[in-house]
Amino acid sequence: MLQLHPIQSTEDIFPEYRDTPIGLLLEYHNLNKSHNSYSSARLLIGMCMDNRKSLKIPENFAYIMRTGGACLKGKEFNISYAIGVGNIKYMAIIGHDRCGMSNLKAHRNDYIIGITHNAGWTKEQAAEYFDQEALNFEIGNEIEFTLKEVNRLRKLYPGIVIAPLFYLLDDNSLCHIIEK
């Protein structure tokens, strides 16, 4: 069973992330650390596009890439740009609970009705598109997927420190995902 480690004090931040931009992210968001001024980004954050999440971080502190389920597949050029041109050495991948990209089948009917009504597609077009694409975007268990994405990115960018984090919607806090 995968577990989460809450951050309620600086001592709760895993040692490998203390005194890094990842540790600062946790301090800003969870511990209400006073915001410093930044002229350039210190890390790249990959997180879900879900509108229920908002990070408490200073201006210019991070590049933020928001995609369904925090899945960054197909975004490697953008990540590489932030690393190469933006001089980024740290990343945080943030999953969250109750993600819409988990158990997509449960949303099929709403998807079809919504895209038909809002985008002008036919019901058949919407159903066919959902059926073709949903498997590509299904993440399953949110914590497990976040770890898989972090491990995939660590293989691609071995010189970058990448932390798996988890956002809890009930209290808007960030937690470490305990890796085993």
Q: How far apart are CA 26 and CA 62, in angstroms?
A: 13
Give the other-Cβ count within 10 Å of 103's Cβ.
12
- What is the full per-residue pLDDT of the chain (180 aa) written as tens digits? 469 999 999 999 999 999 999 999 999 999 999 999 999 999 999 999 999 999 999 999 999 999 999 999 999 999 999 999 999 999 999 999 999 999 999 999 999 999 999 999 999 999 999 999 999 999 999 999 999 999 999 999 999 999 999 999 999 999 999 997
Rounded Cα distance, 71 and 96, in Å: 12
**pLDDT at position 1, please?**
45
- Do 42 and 20 form a contact (C-beta atoms < 8 A)? no
User: Which pLDDT score, from 0 to 100, does residue 2 have?
Assistant: 62
Structural domains of the chain sorted by starting position, each given as residue range(s) with its CATH number in brackets: 4-102+139-177 (3.40.1050.10), 103-138 (no CATH)
Cα separation of 48 and 107, whole Å?
A: 17
Check residue 180 and give its pLDDT.
78
d(C-alpha 64, C-alpha 126), whole Å: 30
